């Protein structure tokens, strides 16, 4: 009897104990900790507010917006020095480019993009989003503090507007319309405060010529959205304003747009609030070493309104039989063709593309020649081997834009003018004239011969963060499916996606041989044990 119990015990030890070990390993290995509960108090709720209606200097009828700026600066002295040193004012900053290209002064002022090609030479339209009054040409005085537009950021009435085509000026009694009336400066001046979502969104939602055209993850629907669209800005969520994340000191606003930036500094990051280990789970937190938070937490973008994914300038200029401009629409009633701009492809709920990104970017500069197609207007730097590089979700905007076939350079194009006959493409639909004028304004040479080339521009995604229940799952990346999120990201080994048949088969065979050996050895000792 004792011999039987001894054999039974041995059998259990041989078979059951390993099974328990395997079960415990899998069970506890798959257990996930509960993320730390993050409690945040919005800055608007804790910062002191000032009733500007009590200030006598603001209780007057301002005729010009510049006079209002002077009144602001009479109390907020030296703030003009801070603002006039900022990229929001200069539209350029000294930046060290990667790949040893040196330090250059770059920004929205002088960089090429693949939307309207460049802000330069299109001041009347593009400079509507400048924080100044009247940057209509090169005579604009960047040293005059009364040219600063305090209201575009600090108006809390949502009634202040800059006029379309006004180079940053509001309407006057001479050019006011129902859509753009003369602002009530007295009322607005007495109701200024910290910037609201609407202030930032006035420009950052409408870049590229319309709502959500450019960024894809920044649009006016975020002013009143659900948690499914953005957990941070949703009124039912944290109801945060832009400057809750984009912390600001002395008018230096943290955060970078890599369409105009190059360096890895002054960034607004998730870790500033959430730390690098917010999940309370070692396995998931370890991902943060190589995976940006945004990669899992922004599974799709353009969640409400579509964004432009493709813009083909090469077909612009077509008119009907009477010479009138043409407008065509896609199935979702978004314009798909405009004579003045060409052909568009819009999309919503877009899955990002993924790249290694270390926080630095290169840019196409004036004088750079086309060496590869598609031309990269900006290049996100980084690779797996770099310690600060992470996998990042990106909107890639593709298109075709004009270049000089002799010099092989992307060209500036004058697209905007207030009336016909001034050579702007949107008015006259003549490419050579528009390019000639755009290049002259930028101080560049144009051979007189142009064609169109494919280009790409890269926009790292940071907004429209989903609730945790809607983030990516392990299987979205760790899969051999061609539909896997990281199926096309090369240069590293991803478990579940990458494998070598020889290594896998060898491993399986060794495991089977080992288990067989253990079992056979144990059984032999069990049944052939003497006594």
For the chain, state the CA radius of gyration.
30
pTM comes to 0.89
**Most distant CA pair in the chain, distance:** 114
Average pLDDT along the chain:
93
Domain map of the chain by residue range? Answer: 499-530
Whole-number Å distance between alpha carbons of 369 and 114: 16
Closest residue by Cα to residue 464 from 211, 200, 221: 221
Q: Name the residue with higher pLDDT: 14 or 161.
A: 161
pLDDT per position as a tens digit, 197-229 = 999 999 999 999 999 999 999 999 999 999 999
Among 18-27, 254-263, 294-303, the least confident range: 18-27
> pLDDT class for 43, splitting at 50, 70, 90?
confident
Question: What is the per-residue burial (b if ≥16 Cβ within 10 Å, else e) of 77-113?
Answer: eebbeebbeebbbbbbbebebbeeeeeeebbbbbbbb
Determine the pLDDT at residue 254. Answer: 96
What mean pLDDT is predicted for residues 155-175? 96
Determine the pLDDT at residue 1. Answer: 59
pLDDT per position as a tens digit, 301-330 = 999 999 999 999 999 999 999 999 999 999
Question: Could you give the 3-state DSSP secondary structure of residue 338?
Answer: strand
Question: What is the per-residue burial (b if ≥16 Cβ within 10 Å, else e) of 172-183?
Answer: eeeeeeeebeeb
Helix (H) or strand (E) holding 347: strand 342-347
pLDDT per position as a tens digit, 362-385 = 999 999 999 999 999 999 999 999
> pLDDT class for 516, splitting at 50, 70, 90?
confident
């Amino acid at each position: 009897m004792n011999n039987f119990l001894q054999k039974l015990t041995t059998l259990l030890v041989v078979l059951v104990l390993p099974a328990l070990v395997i079960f415990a390993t899998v069970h506890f290995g798959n257990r996930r900790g509960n993320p730390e509960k993050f409690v945040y108090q919005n800055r608007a709720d804790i910062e002191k507010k000032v009733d500007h209606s009590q200030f006598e200097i603001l209780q007057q009828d301002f005729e010009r917006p510049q006079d209002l700026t002077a009144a602001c600066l009479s109390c907020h002295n030296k703030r003009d020095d801070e603002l006039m040193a900022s990229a929001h004012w200069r539209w350029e900053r000294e930046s060290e480019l990667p790949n040893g290209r040196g330090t250059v002064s770059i920004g929205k002022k002088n960089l090429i993009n693949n939307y309207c090609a460049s802000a330069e030479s299109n001041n009347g339209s593009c400079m509507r989003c400048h924080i100044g009054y009247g940057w209509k040409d090169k005579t604009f005085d960047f040293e005059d503090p009364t040219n600063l537009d305090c209201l575009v950021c600090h108006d809390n009435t949502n009634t202040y507007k800059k006029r379309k085509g006004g180079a940053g000026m509001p309407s006057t009694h001479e050019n006011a319309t129902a859509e753009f009336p003369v602002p009530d400066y007295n009322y607005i001046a007495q109701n200024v405060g910290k910037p609201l979502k609407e202030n930032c969104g006035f420009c950052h939602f409408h870049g590229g010529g319309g709502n959500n055209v450019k960024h894809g993850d920044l649009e006016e629907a975020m002013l009143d959205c659900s948690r499914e669209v953005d957990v941070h800005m949703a009124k039912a969520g944290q109801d945060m304003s832009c400057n809750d994340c984009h912390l600001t000191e002395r008018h230096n606003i943290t955060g970078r747009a890599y369409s105009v930036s190059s360096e890895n500094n002054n960034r607004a990051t998730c870790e500033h609030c959430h730390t690098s280990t917010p999940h309370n789970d070692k396995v998931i937190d370890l991902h943060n070493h190589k995976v940006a938070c945004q990669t899992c937490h922004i599974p799709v973008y353009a969640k409400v309104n579509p964004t432009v994914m493709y813009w083909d300038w090469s077909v612009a200029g077509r008119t009907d039989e009477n010479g009138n401009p043409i407008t065509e629409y896609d199935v979702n009633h978004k314009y798909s063709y405009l004579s003045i701009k060409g052909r568009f492809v819009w999309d919503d709920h877009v899955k990002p593309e993924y790249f290694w990104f270390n926080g630095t970017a290169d840019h196409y500069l004036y004088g750079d020649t086309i060496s590869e197609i598609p031309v990269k207007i900006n290049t996100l730097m980084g690779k797996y081997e770099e310690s600060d590089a992470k996998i990042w979700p990106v909107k890639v905007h593709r298109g075709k834009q004009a270049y000089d076939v002799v010099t092989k350079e992307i060209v500036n194009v004058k697209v905007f003018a207030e009336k016909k006959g001034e050579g702007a493409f949107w008015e006259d639909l003549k490419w050579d004239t528009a390019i000639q004028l755009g290049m002259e304004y930028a101080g560049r040479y144009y051979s007189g011969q142009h064609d169109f080339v494919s280009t790409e521009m890269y926009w790292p995604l940071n907004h429209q963060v989903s609730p945790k229940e809607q983030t990516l799952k392990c299987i979205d990346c760790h899969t051999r499916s061609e539909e896997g999120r990281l199926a096309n990201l090369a240069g590293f080994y991803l478990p579940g996606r990458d494998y070598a048949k020889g290594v896998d088969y060898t491993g399986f065979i060794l495991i089977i041989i080992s288990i067989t050996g253990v079992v056979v050895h144990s059984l032999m000792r069990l049944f052939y044990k003497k006594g």
